[in-house]
């Protein structure tokens, strides 16, 4: 049976829970708010499947890009409703047009983030835009398998470790399965997210956008509309995002990430094309451009289905490295992470960030002088 001795070796992908034939594995939150498998040993039959599907024990589950592009959706409205270039929406729509299913991260009624299955274009907006919280996979891996066994097309989007978890669970290749990695900085705690929302005292939440581009893609805003008030902060000034961007709020496995140096588990990877001004500035209108990495022949196959609706610019692989540090280097464990989680139950998120993440007095003075 699977046992988590070192939390840095568990990404919380839910593959073990999905594969268990006795349903005796529960994903249990720890004190930081991250989920880990807990086995009911009295029901366990020691079949070993949970250990066999764990992607953290494998070293051959990644691919490097064979082609790299700057890419943007020709439909401006669709692009504005996306985090960057609107490429996911095009590929997802093609899958749905074939009668298939699309899986990705969405807010639920309580504004927690969880993976859901979408079969109607009208619901596709739920999966668009970034959610900077670890998504709960739940039983979606099992739903993906059911779709594939019915010979349906499937597009599954998630972090590289979630893609690897799905592939480990499936244990075989499927021609109609397409997997899209998110260029991942790391996943923050759902507990921290819920605490942050509660402390806003905005009343009933009406909508949340981590990537509002009304004031431009380069300076996107975090916009939370509540019954009592609306919060709108440029991304690097928002309290929650400051913890995230400083690597303070990430899952332990994010400091031990197996999916860096442009090594991905999916067929293609999408992220923001930061550094675009050095490679193809002619397509940068500050409304979003995607960095598209094609990792497998299936990734190219899906791109070819929607190519006519995309403005594509070939760029060297180096373009993915220049200003996209999260694609190359893993986060480094630091004292900010320890301080944040040591105080998560007895201090407000704002107070934690101001006290432990704000930076030294000398650096703050230097930044003010630069401005």
CATH code for the domain defined by 67-187+250-328: 3.40.640
pLDDT at residue 60 tops 90: no
Q: At 146, which helix (H) or strand (E)?
A: helix 140-149
Q: Is-contact 240 191, C-beta < 8 A?
A: no
CA 221 – CA 130 distance, rounded (Å): 12
Q: What DSSP character marks residue 283?
A: G
Q: Is-contact 106 129, C-beta < 8 A?
A: no
Q: Is-contact 139 194, C-beta < 8 A?
A: no
Per-residue pLDDT of 299-338, as tens digits, reads: 999 999 999 999 999 999 999 999 988 889 889 888 999 9
**pLDDT for res 359:** 58
Q: Is-contact 216 367, C-beta < 8 A?
A: no
Per-residue pLDDT of 194-224, as tens digits, reads: 999 999 999 999 999 999 999 999 999 999 9
Which CATH number, 3.30.70.20, 3.10.580.10, 3.20.20.100, 3.40.309.10, labels domain 7-57? 3.30.70.20
pLDDT at residue 363 tops 50: no
**pLDDT for res 57:** 85
What does the domain layout of the chain look like in residue ranges?
Answer: 7-57, 67-187+250-328, 190-248+330-359
CA 237 – CA 210 distance, rounded (Å): 12
Cα 315 versus chain centre, distance? 24
Count of Cβ atoms closer than 10 Å to residue 108 Cβ? 11
CA 266 – CA 158 distance, rounded (Å): 9
**pLDDT for res 326:** 84
Mean pLDDT is lowest, of 48-52, 57-61, 73-77, 161-165, for 57-61
**pLDDT for res 362:** 42
Average pLDDT over residues 57-74: 91
**pLDDT for res 327:** 87
Cα 194 versus chain centre, distance? 17
H-state helical runs in 249-318: 297-306
Per-residue pLDDT of 241-291, as tens digits, reads: 999 999 999 999 999 999 999 999 999 999 999 999 999 999 999 999 999
Dump strand ranges (E) for the chain.
25-29, 35-39, 67-73, 101-107, 113-118, 154-158, 177-182, 205-212, 221-226, 230-234, 268-272, 290-294, 310-314
Query: pLDDT above 70 covers what percent of the chain?
Result: 96
Q: What is the mean pLDDT of the chain?
A: 94
């Amino acid at each position: 049976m699977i046992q988590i001795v070192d939390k840095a070796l568990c990404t919380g992908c839910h593959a073990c829970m999905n594969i268990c034939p006795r349903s005796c594995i529960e994903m249990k939150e720890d004190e930081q708010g991250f989920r880990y498998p807990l086995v009911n040993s009295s029901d366990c039959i020691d079949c070993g499947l949970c250990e066999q599907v764990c992607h953290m024990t494998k070293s051959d589950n990644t691919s490097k890009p064979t082609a790299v592009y700057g890419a943007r959706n020709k439909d401006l409205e669709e692009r504005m409703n996306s985090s960057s270039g609107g490429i996911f929406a095009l590929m997802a729509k093609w899958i749905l047009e074939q009668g298939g299913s699309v899986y990705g991260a969405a807010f639920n009624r309580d504004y927690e983030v969880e993976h859901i299955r979408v079969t109607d274009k009208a619901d596709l907006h739920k999966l668009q835009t970034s959610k900077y919280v670890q998504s709960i996979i739940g039983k979606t891996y099992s739903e993906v398998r059911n779709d594939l066994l019915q010979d349906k097309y499937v597009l599954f989007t998630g972090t590289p470790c979630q893609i690897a978890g799905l592939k480990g669970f499936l244990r075989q290749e499927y021609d109609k399965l397409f997997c899209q990695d998110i260029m991942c900085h790391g996943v923050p705690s759902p507990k921290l997210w819920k605490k942050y929302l509660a402390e806003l005292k905005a009343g009933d939440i009406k909508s949340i956008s981590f990537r509002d581009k009304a004031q431009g893609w380069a300076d996107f805003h975090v916009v939370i509309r509540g019954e009592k008030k609306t919060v709108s902060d440029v991304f690097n000034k928002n309290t929650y995002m400051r913890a995230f961007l400083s690597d303070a709020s990430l899952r332990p496995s994010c400091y031990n990430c197996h999916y860096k140096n442009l090594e991905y588990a999916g067929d293609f990877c999408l992220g923001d094309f930061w550094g675009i001004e050095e490679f193809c500035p002619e397509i940068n209108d500050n409304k979003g451009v995607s960095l598209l990495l094609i990792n497998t022949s299936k990734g190219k196959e899906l791109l070819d289905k929607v190519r006519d609706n995309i403005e594509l610019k070939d760029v060297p692989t180096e373009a993915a490295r220049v200003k996209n540090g999260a694609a190359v280097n893993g986060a480094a464990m630091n004292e900010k992470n320890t301080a944040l989680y040591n105080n998560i139950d007895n201090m407000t998120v704002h107070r934690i960030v101001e006290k432990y993440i704000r930076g030294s007095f000398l650096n703050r003075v230097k930044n003010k002088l630069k401005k």
